[in-house]
A and B are shown apart, each in its own frame.
Chain A
Amino acid sequence: MIIQKNIKKICLTLLFSLFFAAVPPALLAKYDYIDITNPFIRKIPMGIPLLKTFSKNYQEPMMAKKTADLISETLEFTGYFKILDRSAFLESPQKSGITATNIKFKNWTSIGTELLITGGLLIKGDKIEMELRLYDTFKQQLLTGKRYKGKTKDYRRIVRRFCSRVIFKLTNNKGFFNSKIAFVSTGTGNKEIYICDFDGYNPKKITNSKNITLSPAWSSDGKWLAYTSYMRKHPDLYIKNLISRHGTIVAKKGINSSPAWVPGKFELSATFSFTGDQEIHLLTGKGKFIKKLTENRGIDSSPSWSPDGKMFAFVSKRSGTPQIYIKNLITGNVIRLTFNGKYNTQPSWAPCGNKIAYSAMTRQGIDIYVVGVDGNNLTRLTTNKGNNESPSWSPDGSLITFCSTRKGSVSRIYIMTAYGTDQRQLLSLPGQQTSPAWSPEIMNN
Chain B
Amino acid sequence: MYKKIRIFFLLFMAIPGLILTASCTKKPVLSEQADMPQYQDDAYDSDTSKSTDIEESGLYDAERLAQKTAIQEAKENFLNENIYFGFDKASLSMTAQEKLMIKASWMQNNPAASIIIEGHCDERGTTEYNIALGDRRAEKVKSFMMELGVDDSRIQTVSYGEERPADSGHNEDAWQLNRRARFTPYIDGF
Contact = CB atoms under 8 A, between A and B. Distances in A.
Nearest to B164: A212
A278 B132 contact: yes
Contact of A301 (B132, B157, B160, B170): B132
Contacts of A276: 139
A315 B129 contact: yes
Interface in B133-183: 133, 135-136, 139, 157-161, 163-164, 170
B36 interface: no
B136 A345 contact: no
A302 B129 contact: yes
B135 A361 contact: no
B93 interface: no
Give the one of A191, A228, A235 with max B CB within 10 A: A235
B125 A255 contact: no
Interface residues of A, number: 35
A310 B89 CA distance: 32
Interface of B: 88, 124-129, 131-133, 135-136, 139, 157-161, 163-164, 170
Contact of B88 (A301, A321, A390, A434): A321
B38 to A, nearest CB: 44
B131 A258 contact: yes
Contacts of A366: 124, 126
A439 interface: no
B183 to A, nearest CB: 16
A214 interface: yes
Contacts of A342: 88
Interface string A395-419: 0000000000000010000000000
Given A233-B158, A273-B139, A409-B170, A390 B132 contact: no
A376 B124 CA distance: 27
Contact of A278 (B127, B136, B163): B136
A368 to B, nearest CB: 11
A212 B126 CA distance: 15
A434 B170 CA distance: 17
Given A254-B135, A255-B135, A409-B170, A301 B158 contact: no
Contacts of B133: 299
A255 B137 CA distance: 12
A345 B128 contact: yes
B133 to A, nearest CB: 7
A271 B127 CA distance: 13
8 contacts: A228-B131, A254-B139, A254-B157, A278-B135, A278-B136, A299-B132, A299-B133, A343-B125
Nearest to A299: B132
Contacts of A233: 158
A361 B122 CA distance: 14
A234 B133 CA distance: 15
Contact of A257 (B125, B128, B157, B164): B128
Given A234-B158, A235-B158, A389 B131 contact: no
Interface in A289-323: 299, 301-302, 315, 321-322
Given A235-B159, A273-B139, A409-B170, A255 B132 contact: yes
A215 interface: yes
Given A258-B131, A271-B132, A273-B135, A212 B160 contact: yes
A390 B158 contact: no
Contacts of A254: 135, 139, 157, 159
Interface in A257-277: 257-258, 271, 273, 276
Contacts of B158: 233-235
Contacts of A343: 88, 125
A178 interface: no
A359 interface: yes
B125 A345 contact: yes
B83 to A, nearest CB: 18
Nearest to B126: A345
A359 B128 CA distance: 12
Contacts of B161: 214
A434 B128 CA distance: 12
A435 interface: yes
A212 B158 CA distance: 13
A185 interface: no
Contacts of B132: 255, 257-258, 271, 273, 278, 299, 301
